[in-house]
Structures are given as C-alpha cells and as structure tokens.
C-alpha cells in the first residue's frame, strides 16, 4: 500500500514537470501555427466552482489551442466537510466552427486541504486539517457569451494522496466564468 502513495507522488511530479515548458517546446507548441498577426496573448480572470469549493482563476492563452489556468479555491461551500483546492492546469482546446462551443481536455496538479467538522467518535476521528497533493485529468466545454466573456463547464477524475497508504479518487464537476483582457 505504501507504493500506491509514492506512485501518486511520482505521477504528480512528472505531470508538474510536463507542464513547465522548455524553450524548444514553448517555441514549437505555443506559437501561433497560422501566423496570424495581431493575435496577441490573452489573459483572463474569473470565478470557478468545483465540488464544494469556489474561488478565483487566472488563465493565460498562448494561442487558440493552448492555455494555462491557475486557480485558488479557498471558499468551502459545505460547512461540514471543508474542502479547498489550489493549483494549475494545462488546457488544450479543439476549436469548432459547426457548434457555438469549444470542447477541451485538461490535466492539472495542485494541493488540497480537507477538514471534517463533524468527527465520528466511533472511528476515533478528529477534525484536524489534512493537506494532500493531487492531480486531475478531464474534459469540458467553453461557451463564449460575448467577445470577452465566456462560460465553461467540465468534469474531471481527481486523485488525492490523502494518507501515506491511501488514495482518494473523486469525480469533480466544475464550472466557471471568465472575462478576457485583450
């Protein structure tokens, strides 16, 4: 069982290294392939809700296909199980012309905090704060509401290494609203 926790740490570390681009990688993958002039890098800010926590996001678009999103979700919406998440994710878009939305896939890493405010005396639980490293992969859609405002919704499989001998897996539904600065 201890190997399971170490495997999660190793996968999360490899995923974090994969998200940090090298010079060649960023010049090749993050450059605009069509060579359109005037298409500048975009930053957007927004709010995000996913599985009993909400917070703020910052998204940087390298081009029409590749984005990086950092988020901080310190506001727990469940008073019994306080769950917060902090991290980042790489987003790859699949632009569509037939539909009014853009599907995307993503992978991300982050840290989670969890506290159960109603301990179970039978299981000898207390309400201590637990911190754990996690990673997620998922898919979603982004719907532009105007040229600067968009709405996104996604689903992710998230793995959290909450104990040295345990892994917690959850399916997280998320949604967000972003305002793009040009």
Indicate whether 9 belongs to any domain.
no
In this predicted model, what pLDDT tens digit does every residue of 81-129 receive, in sequence order? 787 889 999 999 998 888 889 999 999 999 988 787 776 666 566 667 7
- The radius of gyration computed from the CA coordinates of the chain, to the nearest angstrom, equals 18
Average pLDDT value for residue range 42-64: 92
Residue at 55 is within a domain: yes
Range of the domain at 115: 40-181
pTM for the full predicted model? 0.71
- 10 occurs within a structural domain: no
How many domains does the chain divide into? 1
Domain at 78, CATH number:
2.40.160.20
Residue with tokens 């997620």: 136
Read off the pLDDT of each residue in 36-52 and give the average, rounded to a whole number.
76
Q: What is the pLDDT of residue 110?
A: 93
> Where are the extended beta strands (E) located within the chain?
42-50, 53-61, 66-76, 81-93, 102-116, 130-144, 149-163, 166-181
Per-residue pLDDT at 147 exceeds 70: yes
């Amino acid at each position: 069982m201890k190997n399971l926790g170490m495997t999660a740490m190793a996968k999360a570390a490899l995923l974090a290294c994969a998200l940090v681009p090298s010079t060649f990688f960023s010049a090749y993958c993050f450059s605009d392939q069509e060579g359109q002039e005037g298409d500048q890098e975009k930053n957007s800010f927004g709010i995000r809700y996913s599985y009993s926590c909400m917070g703020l996001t910052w998204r940087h678009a390298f081009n029409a296909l590749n984005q990086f999103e950092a988020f901080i979700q310190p506001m727990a919406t469940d008073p019994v199980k306080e769950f917060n998440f902090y991290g980042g994710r790489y987003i790859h878009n699949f632009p569509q012309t037939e539909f009014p939305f853009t599907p995307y896939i993503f992978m991300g890493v982050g840290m989670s905090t969890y506290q159960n405010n109603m301990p179970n005396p039978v299981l000898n639980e207390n309400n201590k704060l637990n911190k754990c490293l996690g990673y997620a992969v998922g898919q979603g859609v982004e719907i532009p509401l105007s040229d600067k405002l968009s709405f996104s919704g996604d689903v992710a499989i998230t793995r959290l290494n909450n104990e040295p001998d345990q892994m917690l897996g959850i399916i997280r539904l998320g949604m967000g609203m972003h305002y793009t600065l040009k």
